[in-house]
Amino acid sequence: MKTCLIYGFAMSLAGAVLNLTLYFLNYHSDVAKLGVAQGIGAIGGLAIGITCIVLGTKARRAELPAHEEFTYGRALGTGVMITLFAALLGIVTNYVYFAVINPGLTDIIVQSQMEKMEAKGMSGVQLEQVEKVTRMMTKPPIQAAFGFLGGMFFGTIISLVTSAFLKKPARDELSPT
């Protein structure tokens, strides 16, 4: 459990550092840069997730005696637990980011959505509805909840794949003859 918590914490911390880096590089302050920030965030988040889940699962596997089997199910459980801890800690970091560090990101997201909808030819009334829904969906508690659900979904997918490569059959102990 301790290993999962450590790697979950590392995963959450790395994600927060990536997000803050994008913020300090002004990728979250301009509608034109928001798409690039989302792409970097997605690729970076995937790399962070894979790295932390693989390293955490290997560390958990190494804790077991050599003769004990580390099944696909155990590897999957380890990956999902790492993901769970990361997602729970991510709730806090997402909320703090949206509510305290960069509350103006909501306006950037709304502006980006409105420009996309205007380009599709939506009318004024439809645009008002889109803005209302977008503002509601970008409130810090809702963003934190979506971050948790998204993190759990993608972390579980990563764990399903990596577990196939990280399982280990039991080794027979050599007995003296």
In the structure, what pLDDT confidence band is assigned to residue 128 with cuts at 50, 70 and 90?
A: confident
Write down the pTM of the prediction.
Answer: 0.88
Does residue 23 carry a pLDDT above 60? yes
For 136-163, write each residue's pLDDT tens digit.
998 999 999 999 999 999 999 999 999 9
Phi, then psi, of 151 in degrees rounded to 5: -60, -45
- Whole-angstrom Cα distance, residue 165 to residue 75? 9
In the structure, what pLDDT confidence band is assigned to residue 119 with cuts at 50, 70 and 90?
A: confident
For 46-72, write each residue's pLDDT tens digit.
999 999 999 999 999 999 988 899 999
| 143-160 as b/e: b if 16+ CB within 10 A | bbeebbeebbebbbebbe
